């Protein structure tokens, strides 16, 4: 009898875990299973129930969905301006004025050009207005806006979270019925696993809610290139340089002439002697 009671707890845990895994695997293709713990004559019993409006016919019924669409809006804007610091300040003030905040800024210099980047978050209701105002802060080079509907993802995560929370509640009830150390350890191990999945799902849900409520606008600011100006000319310096080149050429010619004279003094008589001898032989 005692041995049978000891086996009861692990069997119940296995049944609950298997049921939860089966329900989770069917979330994407069927109605999520909702588990409730009801008290009957002082004994806890796990029963399944269907959401309101479900008649059991999968051909005519659909799982509950969120009433409003959850859409994540993002924008990337590139501007050219001659006053980067002033533009950064104006964008910061704009974000605060619309109930948002500055998520981050960077300022870099490449050679003689300065580039700045600023990311702000504003409520989704002010997204379009904020984008239009920022475009007027300089010359618009590029603008890209995106919208991502995450409604179905949010519904799936919420349903999975509900199943896991009910599973956690059931396991806590079973933990109170555990009699031996082994039974307590088995239930606690399963509770830790379920609790970890619950925290992970809550983090994902909060991330979607945050991104849907506060839209992101990333702005890149670059300085306008300076206008082309021809280099100035100093005529006095130019003439001095030209004369220096001329004198250098004359000096080179003089040196070349002085070097050629000794060679000519030897080469010319030798040529005439050679020519006379050639003429005699020919005569």
| Residue of 265 and 219 predicted with greater confidence | 219
pLDDT higher than threshold 90 for residue 120? yes
Instruction: State the pLDDT at residue 164.
Output: 93
| Residue of 229 and 117 predicted with greater confidence | 117
pLDDT tens digit sequence for 195-239:
999 999 999 999 999 999 999 999 999 987 766 555 555 667 777
Instruction: State the pLDDT at residue 242.
Output: 78
Taking the C-alpha atoms of residue 54 and residue 195, their distance in angstroms, rounded to an integer, is 29
Instruction: State the pLDDT at residue 37.
Output: 33
Q: Side-chain half-sphere of 49: how many Cα atoms within 13 Å?
A: 12
How does DSSP classify residue 123? E
Element housing 201 (H / E): helix 181-213
SS3 state of residue 215: strand
SS3 state of residue 74: strand
Taking the C-alpha atoms of residue 61 and residue 116, their distance in angstroms, rounded to an integer, is 53
Closest CA to 123 of 151, 95, 147: 95
pLDDT higher than threshold 70 for residue 87? yes
Taking the C-alpha atoms of residue 145 and residue 74, their distance in angstroms, rounded to an integer, is 6
Instruction: State the pLDDT at residue 40.
Output: 31
| Confidence tier at 240 by pLDDT (50, 70, 90) | confident
Within 8 A by CB and 6+ apart from 149, the residues are: 69, 70, 71
pLDDT tens digit sequence for 161-203:
999 999 999 988 888 888 888 888 988 899 999 999 999 999 9
pTM: 0.53
Instruction: State the pLDDT at residue 11.
Output: 54
Instruction: State the pLDDT at residue 217.
Output: 96
Among residues of the chain, what percentage have pLDDT more than 70? 72
pLDDT higher than threshold 80 for residue 124? yes
Taking the C-alpha atoms of residue 109 and residue 162, their distance in angstroms, rounded to an integer, is 51
Instruction: State the pLDDT at residue 134.
Output: 95
How does DSSP classify residue 150? -
| Mean model confidence pLDDT for the chain | 76
Most confident of 37-46, 48-57, 174-183: 174-183
Cα-to-chain-centroid distance, residue 101: 18
| Confidence tier at 249 by pLDDT (50, 70, 90) | confident
Q: What share of the chain is helix, strand, coil (3-state, %, to 5)?
A: 55, 25, 20
């Amino acid at each position: 009898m005692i041995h049978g009671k000891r086996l009861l707890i692990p069997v119940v845990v296995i049944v609950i875990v298997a049921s939860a895994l089966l329900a989770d695997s069917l979330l994407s293709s069927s109605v999520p299973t909702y588990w409730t713990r009801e008290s009957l004559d002082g004994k806890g019993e796990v029963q399944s129930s269907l959401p309101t409006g479900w008649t059991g016919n999968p051909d005519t019924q659909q799982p509950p969905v969120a009433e409003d669409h959850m859409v994540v809006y993002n924008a990337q804007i590139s501007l050219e301006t001659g006053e980067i610091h002033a533009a950064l300040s104006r964008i910061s003030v704009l974000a605060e004025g619309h109930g948002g905040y500055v998520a981050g800024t960077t300022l870099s210099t490449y050679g003689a050009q300065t580039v700045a980047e600023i990311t702000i978050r504003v409520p989704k209701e002010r997204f379009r207005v904020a984008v239009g105002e920022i475009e007027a802060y300089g010359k618009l080079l590029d603008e890209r806006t995106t919208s991502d509907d995450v409604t179905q993802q949010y519904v799936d995560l919420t349903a999975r979270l509900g199943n896991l929370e009910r599973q956690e509640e059931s396991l806590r009830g079973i933990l109170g019925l555990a009699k031996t150390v082994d039974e307590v350890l088995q239930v606690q191990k399963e509770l830790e696993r379920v609790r970890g999945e619950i925290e992970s799902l809550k983090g994902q849900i909060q991330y979607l809610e945050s991104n849907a409520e506060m839209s992101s606008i990333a702005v890149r600011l670059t300085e306008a290139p300076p206008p082309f100006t021809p280099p100035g000319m100093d005529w006095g310096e130019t003439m001095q340089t030209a004369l220096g080149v001329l004198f250098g050429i004359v000096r080179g010619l003089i040196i070349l002439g002085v070097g050629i004279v000794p060679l000519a003094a030897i080469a010319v008589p030798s040529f005439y002697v050679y020519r006379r001898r050639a003429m005699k032989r020919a005569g």
